[in-house]
Amino acid sequence: MKIFDLMNLETESNENRSVNVFFQNDTFKTRVIVLEAGGEIPPCQMDIFVMFYVIKGEVVLRKNEESAILKENQVFISEPAWLSMDSKFGARLMGIQIKSQE
């Protein structure tokens, strides 16, 4: 059995985000995402389902033409879409990419 402490996993910047993956199998990939104050993840087309859970802080999340604030202990789940986010004060999230079972 493996337990992951989401607050203490070491992370790299978005440019080196592959380092932040702490679990992966044929169905999903899980990573910790840290945005410093003023940090952002630029728009990207996600061709799979994704889920973001805010561990600490808050982000402005954009899906296609919509936007919303995602706060601590809130979760967002999306079908494939254009996604981006930024954080005015900084945030720590868990992101999960979920592959289709087709």
pLDDT at position 36:
93
The 10s digit of each residue's pLDDT in 4-16 is 998 888 887 666 6
The 10s digit of each residue's pLDDT in 83-94 is 999 999 999 999
pTM of this prediction? 0.88
Strands (E), 36-100: 39-46, 49-63, 66-71, 75-78, 81-87, 91-98
User: What ranges do the domains of the chain cover?
Assistant: 30-98
CATH of domain 30-98: 2.60.120.10
User: Closest Cα to residue 95, out of 47, 36, 38, 28?
Assistant: 28
Contact 26, 100 (CB under 8 A): no
Compute how many other C-beta atoms are within 10 angstroms of the C-beta atom of residue 64: 10
